Amino acid sequence: MTPAQLRAYVAVVRLGSVKQAAAHLSVSESAVSLHIGQLRKEFGDKLFSRTVAGLAFTPGGLRLASRAAELLGLQDRTVLEVSAAGRGRRLLRVAASSLFAELAAPGLIELFAKRASDLDVELSVRDPGSFETLLLTRAADIAIGPQPSVVNPAITCRPAMNYRLVIVVGPDHPLAGVPASAAQLRSQTWLLGPSASTDLGAVQAMLRRLAVPDDRQQIFQSHAAALGEAKRGKGVAPALSFTVAPDVRTGQLLLVAGPHTTLETVWHSLVLAAGTPSAAAELSRFASTPRAIQAMMRGAGVRVGHFRPSVHVTLWS
């Protein structure tokens, strides 16, 4: 599987024909067909077939289209990064849990990036269960999120920020202003962000503590989207106390009272104990300072010149 083969395949997928792909790539149709034939042989998959309505892709063909676009994007970005490194720029790769990445990372990155004009930061959302592997394989320089249940001796784990998880509802919800029992909470529709799909983290810990059934859980593409549904009275939503404080003050959201409605926990930063890039070690120390914590709670954005999100491509069919 070569970049030339993948570029030919992606062009066919995007343009819908070998002829148009060849014209776009400025090569012959036979060259594109050869690349496609080599991919079919390597994968043992037809990938696609021609129909009256156009190209019909196999499940494997759709999967390859997604991965090929991602791999080519990574290749192009790597060329730029190597060139930038040659000019003296550094790259810090941060892996983060979805809750931290969406609600706290922007403020932290904005403040930290100001400290070094030669530093670019790449933030990618990862399952906290993969943090150890990402660090050990050097796929990430630092990981920030929930503390692993077991910390590898090769990794240094440092507390970064204490936070409180609360449960909120819209002003018209039946639990608004009413102390809720565990049984009442269990029976509600839970509006959740993507952090609920992982095994580690505060949201999953709260769901397990209350034994919320899977059929009462609705997961949205972001935590902000889940809170939007909660404002409309569609269910209950776990949220970071500092992020919903403005909506609670204005009455758009109400805190659910009761002994089971809060959870105190901590985000941790993880880096390799030896051989950690200097920028990663500095960020690990900086993340627990008062200035950094204030920035995370403010959630300021970051200038595009300092931030390069990791490439992720998904095809929906």
Per-residue pLDDT at 81: 59
Q: Which residues fall within 8 angstroms of residue 209, CB to CB, at 6 or more apart? A: 260, 263
Q: What is the pLDDT of residue 77?
A: 65
For 188, phi and psi rounded to 5 degrees? -80, 160
pLDDT at 139 over 80: yes
Mean pLDDT of 252-259: 94
- pLDDT at residue 301 greater than cutoff 80: no
- Higher-scoring residue by pLDDT: 296, 14: 296
Residues 6+ apart with CB under 8 A from 5: 35, 36, 38, 39
Residues 81-102 have pLDDT tens digits of 566 556 657 788 899 999 999 9
- Position 305 confidence tier, pLDDT thresholds 50, 70, 90: very low
Question: Mean pLDDT throughout 146-160?
Answer: 93
Question: What integer pLDDT is reported at residue 152 of this predicted model?
Answer: 92
Instruction: For residue range 24-67, list pLDDT tens digits in order.
Output: 999 999 999 999 999 999 999 999 888 877 788 888 988 898 88
Cα–Cα distance measured from residue 5 to residue 9, given in angstroms and rounded to the nearest whole number: 6
Helix 18-25 crosses helix 29-43 at what angle (to 10 degrees)?
110
pLDDT at 104 exceeding the cut of 70? yes
Residue 120's pLDDT is 82
314 pLDDT exceeds 60?
no
Task: For residues 7-18, give the mean pLDDT.
Answer: 88
**What average pLDDT does range 268-280 have in this prediction?**
88
Inter-residue contact 224 to 102 (CB < 8 Å): yes
Q: What is the pLDDT of residue 53?
A: 72
d(CA 243, CA 164): 10
pLDDT value at position 80? Answer: 62
Domains and CATH numbers, the chain: 3-84 (1.10.10.10), 89-161+266-306 (3.40.190.10), 163-264 (3.40.190.10)
Q: Pick the range with the lowest mean pLDDT from 33-37, 77-81, 177-181.
A: 77-81
Mean pLDDT, the chain, as a whole number?
87
Mean pLDDT of all residues in 115-142:
88
Q: How far apart are CA 176 and CA 113, in angstroms?
A: 41
DSSP string across 4-72:
HHHHHHHHHHHHSSHHHHHHHHTS-HHHHHHHHHHHHHHHT---EEEETTEEEE-HHHHHHHHHHHHHH
User: Which pTM was predicted?
Assistant: 0.70
Least confident range from 115-124, 203-212, 227-236, 296-305: namely 296-305
What would the pLDDT profile of 197-249 be if each residue is shown by its tens digit? 888 999 999 999 999 999 999 999 899 999 999 999 999 999 999 999 999 99
